[in-house]
Chains A and B, each alone.
Chain A
Amino acid sequence: MVPLTFKKMHLSRPLRTACIATLALSLSSCASWKKGGSGSGGDYGGSDSDSVNGTALPDRQEGVSFLGENVDRNKFSPVHFGYDSFSVSGDERGKIREVAEFMRSSEKSIIIAGFTDERGTPEYNRGLGERRAQAVRSALISAGADGSRLQTVSFGAELPVDSSSGDSAWAKNRRAEFGVVR
């Protein structure tokens, strides 16, 4: 299980990049940057229109969706997540780099779809799936991908890769998939 403090860490982009770049991702040193935990985000200030937790999503492309025929869902491997976590682990960073590289050399758009395992209540799972998709989107943007070509969607616990119950199935189902718009 991923340490919760890591999952909750919220850094401004320069700070986050600095942390990752130095690979000195000491939880204690970064912990002071994490959200205080009041649930309010009162320390962010700002107006309703800002997007302190990420960058705003682009408008949807009319008639294009993740499950549609004009989307290639098999080009990239899904990013997997720990239980109840939306943190993109070090093991999964290679997948992010691959997609970011593709996006830098292409004009295509990508829809990132977030999924959860079956453990968890339905609406929380939809939120968690979206948070996973958004975590992958943020990681891609940090790796140089153009956020205006990155849309997200959550399916919660729907559409499992493996519909059986058990650790192996759950691990496969906790994922974010990439759909490349043709």
Chain B
Amino acid sequence: MKKLCAIFSLAAASVALAVEVPTITISKSDKLSIAVNGLSGEVAKVLENDLAMSGYFKITPPGASGFLVSGSGGGTLNGKVEDHGGKTVLSKSFSGSARSQAHQFADEIVETLTGARGIANTRVAFVATKTGKKEIYLADADGAGVTELTHDGNISVAPCLSPDGRSLAYTGYKSGYPDVYEINLASGARNRIIKFPGTNSGAAYSPDGGKIALTLSKDGNPELYVTSASGGGARRLTRTPGVESSPTWSPDGGEIIYSSDDRGTPQLYRISASGGSGQLISTGHGYNTEPNWSPDGKRVAFNVREGGGFAVAILELASGQTRLVGDGQDPAWGADSRHLIFASGGALILLDAQTGQKTTLVSGLGKISEPTWSR
């Protein structure tokens, strides 16, 4: 298994060197062949979909595959993965609902065979206009199990799932002003946690879930602030005459990338989470908003204006190269730093940024916008 990971990263490194592009494109033939045998019903269906969605696997019939997944159901799923030679490389039990068991097993398989983080056992949230008002919705990362989380009949926007997926912060206009609310997803309890005068919006949880970065206007201008996860102790980060918005944290929580129109049009900047100077990040585009930093720290997805609409762009921080990956708004990285979700054409789209493959995760809820993804 370790050897596999090593081969994988070696291949990645050599490809990257050869073409001087920091990302590699895995063609279909590079996918690991895997078969699911002995599982049936929802668990098998969800598991196969999760494995295919991960981007690392090609589902094949048993016998023709490099890896064989099997398991026995009941209350608990006892999952097993064997390699081509019949050697057991993974054996583990999973509890919870059938869907949850399948998601957990899928992530375990991805992590064991590729070394990458899985995205199956995570949740997405987004804004949708199904009721005629903007409300927050929650779903599994595969788009199943959509539930309406807010019923405010007002304006509920800018959701942010905590990295552990246990709570969700959003901007709600229930008081008539944009305030930040926090929902405990297990209990359903909701608290208004940030309610300064003016506008309170765009809450972004730090990777450890301990802090929130957001835009506040209480001091006379929209600026970035950092608060505790419960909204206390607001500390100001930026100090410009322009508009600062959409903070996103580095994996270690030490830095923040955000959008500011301090130079006329919105550009990306990078600042220490403890304050200091914001450094301009050049992207080659005139309009740069809604950045989202990948969990591995290597790239930033954001919006650029393109042909009258918006495109999703990915900036590789090491090389400074930017590429466009499709029409859409408000990109958010998954735990694997490989997949992105964004809103496009009123639907929630999943993009495999390595292969370019796009999948519609959720549609038919009016207009979907501002997705967020737990890690």
Q: How far is the CA of A129 from the CA of B197 in the complex (A)?
A: 15
Given A60-B177, A153-B176, the answer on whether A35 and B241 have CB atoms closer than 8 Å is yes
Chain A residues with CB below 8 A from B265, complex form: 4, 84
Query: When chains A and B are docked, how far (Å) is the Cα of A80 from the Cα of B238?
Result: 27
| A134 & B278 in contact (Cβ 8 Å cutoff) | no
| Distance, CA A39 to CA B215, complexed state (A) | 15
Write out, one digit per residue, whether chain B residues 227-238 have a CB within 8 A of any chain A CB (1) or not (0): 000000001101
Chain B interface category by residue count: 35 or more
| Beta-carbon contact of B259 and A124 below 8 Å | yes
Contact of A40 among B196, B199, B239, B246 (CB under 8 A): B239
Of the listed stretches B12-20, B217-225, B313-321, name the one at the interface; the rest are far from the partner chain: B217-225
Q: Distance (Å) between the CB of B137 and the closest chain A CB? A: 15
Contact A130 B217 (CB under 8 A): yes
Output the least CB separation between A113 and chain B (Å).
Answer: 10
Q: Check B206 for interface membership: any CB of A closer than 8 A.
A: no
Q: Does A94 contact B (CB under 8 A)?
A: no
Least distance between A6 CB and chain B CB atoms (Å) = 10
| CB neighbours of B239 from chain A (8 A) | 40-42, 44, 46, 52-53
State the CA gap A35–B330 with chains docked (Å).
29
Complex contact B158–A122 (CB within 8 A): yes
* Cα(A131)–Cα(B260), bound, Å: 12
Asked if B220 contacts A57 (CB within 8 A), the reply is yes
Query: CB within 8 Å of B: which of A111-158?
Result: 120-124, 126-131, 134, 137-138, 151-156, 158
A121 cross-chain contacts in B, Cβ below 8 A = 289-290, 303, 310, 329-330
User: Interface residues of A toward B: which range?
Assistant: 35 or more
Q: Is B277 touching A40 in the complex (CB atoms < 8 A)?
A: yes
A10 and B177: CB pair below 8 A?
no
**B175: interface (CB < 8 Å):** yes
- Return A167 CB to nearest CB of chain B, in Å: 13
Q: Which among B197, B219, B243, B369 is the interface contact of A59 at CB below 8 angstroms?
A: B197
Contacts of B330 in A (CB 8 A): 121-123
Q: Within the assembled complex, what's the spacing in Å between the Cα atoms of A128 and B246?
A: 12
- Contact at B245–A54, with CB atoms within 8 Å? no
A7 near B: Cβ within 8 Å? yes
Docked pose: A8 CA to B244 CA in angstroms: 13
Answer whether residue A170 sits at the interface, using C-beta atoms and an 8 A cutoff: no
Contact check, B215 vs A127: say whether CB atoms are below 8 A apart. Answer: yes
Minimum CB distance partner of B221 in chain A: A53
Q: Is the CB of B176 within 8 A of A68?
A: yes
Known: A134-B221, A153-B199. Contact between A37 and B175, CB under 8 A? no
Question: When the two chains form their complex, are residues A39 and B369 in contact, meaning their CB atoms are under 8 A apart?
Answer: no
**Is B197 touching A60 in the complex (CB atoms < 8 A)?**
yes
Q: Which residues of B contact A130 (CB under 8 A)?
A: 198-199, 215, 217, 222, 243
Are B201 and A126 in contact, CB atoms less than 8 angstroms apart? yes
Query: Chain A 1-30 against B: per-residue CB contact (8 Å), 1 yes, 0 no?
Result: 000110111100000000000000000000
Contact present for A39 and B260 (CB under 8 Å): yes
Interface flag for B178 (CB, 8 Å): yes
Which residues of chain A (55-108) have a CB below 8 Å from chain B?
55-60, 64-68, 84, 86
Does the CB pair B176–A67 fall under 8 Å? yes
Contacts of B219 in A (CB 8 A): 50-51, 53-54, 56-57
With beta carbons under 8 angstroms apart, the residue of A40, A50, A58, A128 that contacts B197 is A58
CB distance from A45 to the nearest CB of B (A): 9
Residue contacts A-B, CB under 8 angstroms, 13 given? A4-B264, A35-B240, A38-B279, A42-B276, A51-B220, A51-B221, A53-B241, A65-B176, A122-B329, A130-B222, A134-B217, A134-B220, A155-B155
Q: Which positions in A face B, CB cutoff 8 Å?
A: 4-5, 7-10, 34-35, 37-42, 44, 46, 48, 50-60, 64-68, 84, 86, 120-124, 126-131, 134, 137-138, 151-156, 158
Closest CB pairs A-B (n = 8): A65-B176, A54-B220, A41-B239, A4-B264, A39-B278, A40-B277, A53-B221, A10-B241
B-side residues, CB < 8 A to A, are: 134, 155, 157-158, 171, 173, 175-178, 195-199, 201-202, 215, 217-223, 235-236, 238-246, 259-267, 269, 271, 276-280, 289-290, 303, 310, 329-330, 369-370
